Structure 1
């Protein structure tokens, strides 16, 4: 996994005085680390290969090589050469996997459905060397895989609205996985559900409008009563003035 440390072991308990150990990488067999007990030399990549700068550690007792904070660019073939009484070689094939995102489940339709089933899609973006799968309980329903290229994957699924089974979408590579569980009630809505929701909203709006009309009527009645009282008071005042 990216970010981990990986140690390539020589299977040597202790290096002998006449042993030389060389570590090489890639198809070009580029020298990235070496130990020479006779000449008291122990060194790692001197910076000519930026991929390994400050990432290599050598065990001076066994000759084992540790790669720290490994990334996908460190994947490949490593070759150990042990020069002693005889030449011994050992090859390591290192695969490095990026950390997986959690897959996303979404509805495949923005509108309500008139059918009895719901269309869903599970997706994962910018992934490589992975498999995306739908599970019903513990049973595999469908899957899709990608190897070298970093692309976006998506996998559809049709489920019944009344289905009570548990569904999950799993994104995995050979050493890890990420799972997203399906919540049917959250993602799938029938048109009946939408109509019911609209009816409820409409009822609230009507209730609010009725209340506003009632308040307006009360205000008008109060204003009318006050106006009539004011007119009556004026009628009583004028005769007294004469």
Structure 2
């Protein structure tokens, strides 16, 4: 009985082949081709492409009657005018792909045997160029060299990392994998007028870089410098006024003393 079970298991395994997932990463707007890895569909083969957890059929080839069908209206028409099927190999091409096409694809080839192949397609949205702005903050300590910082921001992004670099050296990084977050930002202190700083946003297949415009740091430093110059001028004016007032008081006191002395009668003995 045991040997019979082993024999049946071996026969079933030889009739049905299942290959592991193949991961495909693609940029939104590009095309991706899912290969069946066969050179030619056999005469009696039936090939079916399915998508998603509900395994909706999106394409089917019945080679015996030379029939190729594309079901473009399934899933609210998200595949309409986007599917191409190679009638010789069964390869499926998705053109002008969007993030709505992210998911699992399964192809089954049935004849005397059944072979299945799974694909995991990940579609990444195109990244915007980061935006660098300045942020000034006030401080009561006049000994601080600078209270200005730079802010690098990107909007409408998901599953990305944002980084500050000085040349090729990584200074700081923040990563977001939450699909509900659509914007991130990262600070950098305004250190000097150095154009080797850059801000980079990236996902696993692409990146966008914004280099620091030295005018931003210059304006930042000038702002702080102007604040210190203005403070120094105010103090100088106050000191001058106090000094003039002090001199005036001293002069008046001296004059009063001289006047009292001149009015005092001299004693004659």
For 1:134 and 1:120, how far apart are their aligned partners in 2? 10
Residue 56 (structure 2) aligns with = 30
Instruction: Summarize the Cα distance change of 1:130–1:35 in structure 2 as closer, same or farther, 3 Å threshold.
Output: same
Instruction: Summarize the Cα distance change of 1:192–1:139 in structure 2 as closer, same or farther, 3 Å threshold.
Output: closer
Residue 204 (structure 1) aligns with = none
Q: What are structure 2's unaligned runs of at least 5 residues? A: 1-26, 231-269
Write out per-residue CA displacement over residues 143-198 of structure 1, whole angstroms, 9 at most, x where no aligned residue.
1112222411000111323x546110000011110000112333423346547999
- 1:190 has 2:216 as partner: no
Q: Residue 41 of structure 1: which of 67, 79, 87 is its match?
A: 67
Contact preservation (8 Å) 2:70, 2:83:
yes
For 1:165 and 1:52, how far apart are their aligned partners in 2? 46
Residue 4 (structure 1) aligns with = 30
Contact preservation (8 Å) 1:116, 1:160:
no
Question: Which SS does the other structure have where 1:61 is aligned?
Answer: coil
Instruction: Summarize the Cα distance change of 1:150–1:53 in structure 2 as closer, same or farther, 3 Å threshold.
Output: farther
Write out per-residue CA displacement over residues 188-222 of structure 1, whole angstroms, 9 at most, x where no aligned residue.
23346547999xxxxxxxxxxxxxxxxxxxxxxxx
For 1:83 and 1:150, how far apart are their aligned partners in 2? 43
Q: Residue 107 of structure 2: which of 80, 88, 91 is its match?
A: 80
Alignment RMSD? 2.3
Instruction: Summarize the Cα distance change of 1:98–1:32 in structure 2 as closer, same or farther, 3 Å threshold.
Output: same
Contact preservation (8 Å) 1:137, 1:165:
no
Q: Residue 69 of structure 1: which of 96, 99, 105 is its match?
A: 96
Aligned residues between the structures: 197
- Please state how far the C-alpha of 1:74 moved relative to its aligned partner: 0.2
Q: What are structure 1's unaligned runs of at least 5 residues? A: 199-242
- Please state how far the C-alpha of 1:85 moved relative to its aligned partner: 2.2
Q: Tell me the TM-score normalised to structure 1 length.
A: 0.75
Instruction: Summarize the Cα distance change of 1:26–1:192 in structure 2 as closer, same or farther, 3 Å threshold.
Output: closer
Once the two structures are superposed, the pairs formed by residues 101-112 of structure 1 within 5 Å of their partners are: 101-109=128-136
Question: Which SS does the other structure have where 1:189 is aligned?
Answer: helix
Question: Which SS does the other structure have where 2:100 is aligned?
Answer: helix
